[in-house]
A = this chain, B = another copy of it.
């Protein structure tokens, strides 16, 4: 039942014509297995960052991991899948930036700045992977979804503060909060992309300052609120 195509049809040899139809191998049951899987993920990240997603061959990955080609399929069933595993590995780091500075939660601009700073820092730190995600998202619908979720997670966090401010009368009431948040989030993320993936030469602090100021201004947060 598992293997779709064959059954009745003639099949003799390894028959390479069967694409991976079951997604995801079972998780390793032994410590050794877990180690091997981790090795592969690590190797995959290296290879992906070095060669790009398209140019990375599974063979390169297993070789980098010092394993045989066939072993790849013990843990993953496709390039997509191991790429997803690589992303997951970084996920946490990206979403929960280690640096957690003390800020005055009541100072809206300080909140915005902290958010931007954290985002840019994380982006910078994982620039290679973010560029990769951008590349893969352009190619593979599934990862477009992953990117969307990342984008939305960032936007949602920002949306909160925008709404709060709007309710407190601190923000331009004419603005559609959803659209405004999305647009500003795009501003930050795309600028980060330009800076750290495309390599535009922007100073980090200048970036933080400018994006924060633009953001605050855009929403119409009174400069006075800063003090």
Q: Which residues of A are in contact with B by a Cβ distance under 8 Å?
A: 1-14, 16-19, 51-55, 57, 79-80, 134-144, 148, 172, 174-176, 179-180, 182-184, 186-191, 194, 198, 200, 202, 206-207, 210-211, 213-215, 217-220
How many copies are assembled? 4
Known: A183-B210, A191-B186, A207-B179. A217 touches B80 (CB 8 A): no
| Interchain CB contact under 8 A, B214 and A184 | yes
Give Cα A91–Cα B14 distance, bound, in whole angstroms.
31
Q: Which of B10, B18, B80, B191 contacts A54 (CB 8 A)?
A: B10
Cβ contacts under 8 Å, A174 to chain B: 213
A140's nearest neighbour on chain B, judged by CB, is B10
Task: A1-B55, A134-B138, A135-B138 given; name 6 further pairs at CB < 8 Å.
Answer: A7-B51, A8-B54, A54-B54, A137-B138, A172-B217, A213-B218
Q: Judge whether A9 and B141 touch: CB under 8 Å.
A: yes
Give the chain B neighbours of A198 by CB distance below 8 A: 144, 148
Contact of A51 among B1, B17, B144, B194 (CB under 8 A): B1
Q: Which residues of B contact A2 (CB under 8 A)?
A: 55
Report whether A210 and B180 are in contact in the complex, using a CB–CB cutoff of 8 Å.
Answer: yes
How many whole Å from A225's CB to the nearest CB in chain B? 14
